[in-house]
Structure 1
């Protein structure tokens, strides 16, 4: 179980919150997280790279010059891989990079990654409730009030992000906003700080606390 201090929009302590999730054993946690990250990054690859073999390159049906008497090496086609514009040997072809990982392992890896970042977690009460219109500087000021230095890579997790919050955050290069039901291992481990709303924390406990 992880106990967190809840802060209000002004950065003052507003209560306590807890997160109780089952995580992987310490001996196997590192390997589990590594496989989960590799799988996620592999699934992000398009796999559309394609090169032409000598059978697919256009032309080359006629022998470029006679077999003997030229003093040059014999050639049967201008599309040989030895010539410019020819086919590619063992070049890339469209493929899938998907890796298998069962659902229980994926959920366990996600819970383990989240709990491992407990010391870098900031829980906020009523995130963005005071914002009536999009204001990026208000988000920047709030991060500073929560003791998050400027330029820190932040993952912002909300239950149901409003358009006002989305527009306020989208110009911040180091702040990434995701919904509580879109958690992934890479983003949890890649960010330096995690900022969660109370509602998002409750949603995470509801979704991932049953296993």
Structure 2
């Protein structure tokens, strides 16, 4: 079972925690993680881009000039794609980019991402993370104490508005809860900061 150091918000090592081998010590599968990231990003796309075809642009009801005798190229409409302000050929139309992924593969991808962070010593466990009031300066100090000044994902077990508000204005820092955790966010941040309670919740949900 992987053992991870436990810290307090002052950055002091206060102990060690044994984590589940099934969740934090699983085989790292880059192929499955890649599939999960592609699935996540595809589902974030709105698919609202839209262009007008020659049938939808205004104007062009009559032939601009007669077919023969003018010396110019023959045209049937001023809204042909060849013309300025004409219709768009094969342009984007509203569509859904949504893709699906089997639940078992999603779980496997998340375990792989958590195990990769543990293996690379990029998982930081906190005994607790509570704040009496939203203070960005205090959160900056906590991250500095933990030597996590790069992009960091803070994962909590329960809703904590003070922590969320304290972290949201810090560039590169994002907060999440156990039920909103995803592979993309884990891999997109340099450090994964979890409270001890959050790690236990993750083990309860994803073990087995």
Q: If the TM-score is normalised by the length of the shorter chain, which range does it land in? A: over 0.9
Task: Please give the alpha-carbon distance, in whole angstroms, between the structure 1 residues aligned to 2:155 and 2:110.
Answer: 14
The runs of at least 4 aligned residues of structure 1 exceeding 4 Å deviation read: 22-26
Q: Could you give the per-residue CA deviations for residues 51-80 of structure 1, whole angstroms, max 9, x where no partner exists?
A: 111122222121111111211101001111
Q: After superposition, where does 1:124-139 map in structure 2 within 5 Å?
A: 124-128=126-130, 131-139=131-139
* Residue 125 of structure 2: aligned partner: 123
* Residue 88 of structure 2: aligned partner: 88
What is the Cα deviation at residue 25 of structure 1? 4.5
Residue 179 of structure 2 aligns to a residue whose secondary structure is helix
User: Which sections of structure 1, spanning at least 5 residues, go unmatched?
Assistant: none
Task: Please give the alpha-carbon distance, in whole angstroms, between the structure 1 residues aligned to 2:62 and 2:18.
Answer: 76
- Cα pair 1:2 1:115 within 8 Å, conserved: no
Task: Please give the alpha-carbon distance, in whole angstroms, between the structure 2 residues aligned to 1:108 and 1:5.
Answer: 24
- Cα pair 1:24 1:109 within 8 Å, conserved: no
Normalising by structure 2, we get a TM-score of 0.92
Residue 54 of structure 2 aligns to a residue whose secondary structure is coil
What is the Cα deviation at residue 14 of structure 1? 2.0
Structure 2 CA distance for partners of 1:61 and 1:190, relative to 1, 3 Å: same
What is the Cα deviation at residue 24 of structure 1? 6.3
Structure 2 CA distance for partners of 1:100 and 1:134, relative to 1, 3 Å: closer
Task: Please give the alpha-carbon distance, in whole angstroms, between the structure 2 residues aligned to 1:95 and 1:17.
Answer: 47
